[in-house]
Amino acid sequence: MDKNTHVVIMAGGIGSRLWPASTPETPKQFIDVLGTGRTLIQLTADRFRPLCDMSHFWVVTSERYVETVKAQLPEIPDDNILAEPEARNTAPCIAYSCWKIASRFPDANIVVTPADAIVLKTEAFSRIISAALAFSSGRKAVVTVGIVPTRPETGYGYICAGEAENGKIVKVRSFKEKPDLATAEAYLKDGNYFWNAGIFVWSVRTIVEQFHRYSPAIAGIMDRLAPHLYTDRENEVLKELFPQCEKISIDYAVMEKSPDIYVAAADLGWSDLGSWGSVKSHMSQDVNGNSTVGQDIRLFGCRNCLVHLPSMKTAVIEGLDGYVIIERNGRIVICRLSEEQHIKEYSANR
């Protein structure tokens, strides 16, 4: 373990696409989506445990989820759980955590990761992160993790690399928005386009300098907050200043402006689990293509279904093909997987 390595987990999202299992009260990062016995934020922490001591783990989340984080990751010091007064997207979230780390650990080398994705190829992931940390240490470089695409996916942003070499850290040419199908197919054919996993590696000195250069308004707010970090006034001043930050992603605030961005890409078995279909694809299936989470789920004549009923004592389901059946806290959704893109709007109309 490197004493200068720190891990920042971003855990403020509300996961509306996995409703009703994921709700604003308990979003997807805090639930056991895959039926493994571990929530997504716990699985995320598990992946990074070999890198550094848990005292160097940080979680940035909403005020309403602080107690949930403490319960699910009790090894992380309470002082390392940072509560955003309101959601302002990833750039202010990342800035706050990095200024906080910089004030006590000026030599820190940081990995920033979302809390709600999965990585199946954990050994390859560890190698990529270790290589990125070695690369960013002592160098003015931001390394982003790219995922070698396995299909022409239209639901992810892409990173265009200057060259295509699996496992090698190379310069980023540009970031691309979520493409249409024809564009995604062209990306796949070109071979130097990678899915953007939203995982970043940098030294704390580098990211603070990058914010000052490319997002000076946010950097200025953090500089005003800095004298109050680790004091009794931190929360008070944070509530005053943080809402003044522009609501902007780190991609727009820094990544797309800086010439110092690199990508380390590999096939990592990564997914952001942004839909029930994606969840199903990462679960075991029976001979009829059904995936289940629950105590006593009895399927008769069902094919290609996802049944996620962890709190129900018994469920009997007959004759469905290609459906998702989800229940949590008295809310239930029964929907064709082919129509699941509407679940977010269904939840809004409750």
Is the separation of the CB atoms in 195 and 153 below 8 Å? yes
pLDDT in tens, 60-86: 999 999 999 999 999 999 999 999 999
What residues pair up with 297 in beta bridges, in sequence order? 315
Supply the pLDDT for residue 136: 94
Q: Which residue, 38, 29, 104, is CA-closest to 60? A: 29
Q: Regarding the domain with residue range 5-271, which homologous superfamily does it belong to in the CATH classification?
A: Spore Coat Polysaccharide Biosynthesis Protein SpsA; Chain A (3.90.550.10)
Is the separation of the CB atoms in 166 and 213 below 8 Å? no
Supply the pLDDT for residue 349: 60
DSSP H/E element including 133? helix 122-136
Cα separation, 212 vs 182, in Å, equals 38
Tokens of 140: 């003015």
Cα separation, 270 vs 250, in Å, equals 20
Cα separation, 191 vs 313, in Å, equals 48
Tokens of 223: 């500089």
Distances from the Cα of 176 to the Cα of 67, 133, 158, 209, 248, angstroms: 36, 24, 5, 24, 16
Supply the pLDDT for residue 163: 73
Supply the pLDDT for residue 329: 87
Q: Which residue, 197, 179, 175, is CA-closest to 254? A: 175
Residues of the chain falling short of pLDDT 50: none
Is the separation of the CB atoms in 210 and 258 below 8 Å? yes
- DSSP SS3 for 192: coil
Is the separation of the CB atoms in 7 and 44 below 8 Å? no
Is the separation of the CB atoms in 254 and 144 below 8 Å? no
Cα separation, 100 vs 223, in Å, equals 11
Supply the pLDDT for residue 138: 81
Q: What is the pTM of this model?
A: 0.93
Is the separation of the CB atoms in 184 and 153 below 8 Å? yes
Is the separation of the CB atoms in 326 and 344 below 8 Å? no
Is the separation of the CB atoms in 180 and 228 below 8 Å? no
Cα separation, 210 vs 95, in Å, equals 10
Domain locations along the chain: 5-271, 276-348
Supply the pLDDT for residue 12: 87
| Residue 284, C-beta contacts closer than 8 angstroms, at least 6 positions apart | 291
Supply the pLDDT for residue 305: 97
